[in-house]
């Protein structure tokens, strides 16, 4: 009987261990090694005694597509159905999203009719960009930046404002450097296959009809926009960890950093930690590619260099709570294009999105989250290269809330989290980079496989679904 080792206890690592247990019975032991003192990775929730919940990382999931449905199915299998908090199309958090441009909040179009109106910050109705889109030629390049792609198809204004802000909100990155092929595969495929985004939207890329039950059926029938859990998203990763350890095959070791990976003569891998060496017939790496590179032997120099080439960014997450309802609008939140404010990426209106996470009883309060840094993290640093103190960061975030939302009161509670190297940056050529890395691993004949946000999507749905696909491919062999 064989041993499988999963490196990394974030969402991808937890999902990998779960799916190995379910699909690969030949492994009598599944050991998950996590270098920190907790599992969950960037999913991190704080619950206060009065019931208020702060999310320090991801805070909601979209139920669409095969990956979205897969996560709903997993939540149901883990017994979390009664804890699911859906956002419906009629909810303000689903309908209303904003940009902060030229010193004011600007509502994004909410329906087809609004596309025909000239809405700030745009100087002309968005329909004028859309009707021209099918007449633009497709690119002959293998890949290009998101900014270049959108500017070419929808015009410079839409790219400079909407796409710039969107990429800061999703990837905390610069759309002028990020790959459209890697970051927005559906848009890339629409142009390649149909020559137009409009044609692709009309004739392709529609979800196939699925025989759905349980949560998936509810999400489809009620057209959920997104969802979370009653105790925050850490409830999902905690349930995954508990399920892994329910059986005698599953083991999670915290504070256990992998120091080296070495091939053994019998085709296995020796996984070394400060206190142990494990001979594994299968290793799945769910850590940042640069961390995997550090553990590989010197004999694999080319692979180590490739894995180390993937850049990432730091994001500062500032949770703020105010007394009473202080939001001037209702919605999911607002984003800022880079020309408006470099280090401030956006603000999430948590109390509007999930009021169930507010403190219980009186007085009423408002929770928001201010996101800072990303590709503009350096703008936060002091002249000596250090991040300002927690109190200074809170002041910076509360000042942004005052200027952008008109909040005049001071926060009654705050929490600052530095998420170091939390979002890999898929630069132009990323898909080819992934293919090259995986080919080199294949040529090494090591039983090593890659999952995680470094490769095929940083979203929770992507991480869980890609882990499932890797394990299923092993089952097929």
pLDDT, tens digit, 9 for 90 and up, residues 46-98:
999 999 999 999 999 999 999 999 999 999 999 999 999 999 999 999 999 99
Structure tokens at 44: 């991190």
Contacts with 68 (C-beta within 8 Å, 6 or more apart), sequence order: 61, 62, 219, 461
Phi, psi of 156, deg, nearest 5:
-70, -35
* Report field, pTM of the whole predicted structure over 0.85: yes
Peptide bond into 121 cis (omega under 30): yes
Distance of alpha carbon 27 from the chain centroid: 30
* Eight-state DSSP code of residue 218: H
Taking alpha carbons only, the member of 282, 287, 297 closest to residue 256 is: 287
Which residues are CB-neighbours of 435 under 8 A, at least 6 positions away? none
> Are 388 and 316 a contacting pair, CB within 8 Å?
no
Cβ pair 456, 464 in contact under 8 A: no
Instruction: State the Cα–Cα distance between residues 297 and 300, nearest whole angstrom.
Output: 6
- DSSP secondary structure, 314-352, as one string: EEEEEEEEEES---SS-SSEEE--TTT-SSEEEEE-HHH
C-alpha Rg value of the chain to the nearest Å: 23
Residue where the block lists tokens 């848009």 = 187
CA angle at 354 for the pair 168 and 230, rounded to the nearest 5°: 115
Q: How many CA atoms lie within 13 A of 338 on its CB side?
A: 18
Tens-level pLDDT at each residue, the chain (477 residues): 799 999 999 999 999 999 999 999 999 999 999 999 999 999 999 999 999 999 999 999 999 999 999 999 999 999 999 999 999 999 999 999 999 999 999 999 888 888 899 999 999 999 998 999 999 988 989 999 999 999 999 999 999 999 999 999 999 999 999 999 999 999 999 999 999 999 998 887 666 677 788 999 999 999 999 999 999 999 999 999 999 999 889 999 999 999 999 999 899 999 999 999 999 999 999 999 999 999 999 999 999 999 999 999 999 999 999 999 999 999 999 999 999 988 999 999 999 999 999 999 877 899 999 999 999 999 999 999 999 999 999 999 999 999 999 999 999 999 999 999 999 999 999 999 999 999 999 999 999 999 999 999 999 999 999 999 999 999 987
User: Do 198 and 132 contact (CB within 8 A), yes or no?
Assistant: no
Q: Give the DSSP per-residue string, 404-435.
A: HH---SPPSEEEEEEEEEEEE--BTTHHHHHH
Give residue-wise pLDDT tens across range 378-400.
999 999 999 999 999 999 999 99
């Amino acid at each position: 009987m064989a041993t499988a080792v999963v490196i990394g206890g974030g969402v991808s690592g937890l999902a990998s261990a779960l799916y190995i247990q379910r699909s690969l019975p030949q492994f009598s032991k599944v050991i998950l090694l996590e270098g920190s003192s907790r599992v969950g990775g960037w999913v991190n929730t704080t619950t206060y005694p009065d019931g208020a919940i702060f999310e320090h990382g991801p805070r909601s999931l979209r139920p669409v597509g095969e990956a979205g449905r897969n996560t709903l199915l997993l939540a149901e299998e883990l017994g979390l159905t009664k804890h699911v908090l859906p956002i419906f199309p009629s909810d303000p958090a689903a309908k209303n999203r904003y940009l902060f441009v030229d010193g004011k909040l600007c509502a994004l179009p909410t329906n087809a009719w609004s596309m025909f109106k000239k809405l700030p910050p745009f100087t002309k109705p968005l329909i004028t960009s859309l009707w021209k889109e099918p007449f633009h030629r497709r690119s002959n390049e293998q890949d290009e930046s998101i900014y270049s792609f959108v500017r070419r198809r929808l015009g410079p204004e839409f790219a400079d404002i909407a796409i710039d802000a969107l990429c800061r909100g999703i990837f905390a990155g610069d759309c002028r450097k990020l790959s459209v092929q890697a970051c927005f595969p559906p848009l890339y495929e629409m142009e390649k296959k149909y020559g137009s985004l409009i044609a692709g939207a009309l004739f392709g890329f529609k979800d196939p009809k699925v025989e759905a039950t349980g949560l998936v059926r509810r999400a489809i029938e009620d057209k959920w926009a997104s969802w979370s859990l009653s105790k925050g998203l850490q409830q999902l990763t905690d349930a995954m960890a508990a399920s892994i350890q329910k059986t005698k095959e599953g083991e999670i070791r915290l504070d256990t950093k992998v120091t080296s990976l070495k091939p053994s003569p019998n085709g296995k891998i020796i996984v070394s930690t400060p206190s142990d060496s494990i001979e594994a017939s299968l290793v799945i790496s769910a850590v940042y590619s640069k961390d995997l590179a550090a553990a590989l032997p010197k004999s694999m120099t080319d692979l180590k260099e490739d894995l180390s080439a993937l850049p990432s960014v730091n994001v500062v997450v500032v949770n703020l709570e105010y007394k009473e309802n202080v939001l001037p609008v209702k919605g999911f939140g607002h984003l800022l294009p880079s020309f408006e404010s470099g280090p401030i990426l956006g603000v999430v209106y948590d109390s509007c999105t999930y009021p169930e996470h507010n403190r219980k009883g009186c007085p009423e309060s408002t929770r928001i989250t201010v996101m800072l840094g990303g590709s503009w993290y350096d703008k936060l640093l002091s002249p000596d290269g250090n991040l300002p103190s927690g109190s200074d960061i809170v002041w910076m975030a509360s000042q942004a809330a005052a200027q952008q939302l008109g909040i005049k009161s001071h926060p009654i509670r705050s929490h600052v989290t530095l998420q170091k190297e939390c979002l890999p940056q898929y630069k132009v050529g990323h898909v080819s980079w992934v293919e090259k890395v995986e080919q080199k691993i294949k040529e090494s004949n090591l039983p090593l496989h890659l999952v995680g946000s470094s490769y095929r999507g940083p979203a929770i749905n992507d991480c869980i679904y890609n882990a499932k696909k890797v394990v299923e491919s092993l089952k097929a062999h």
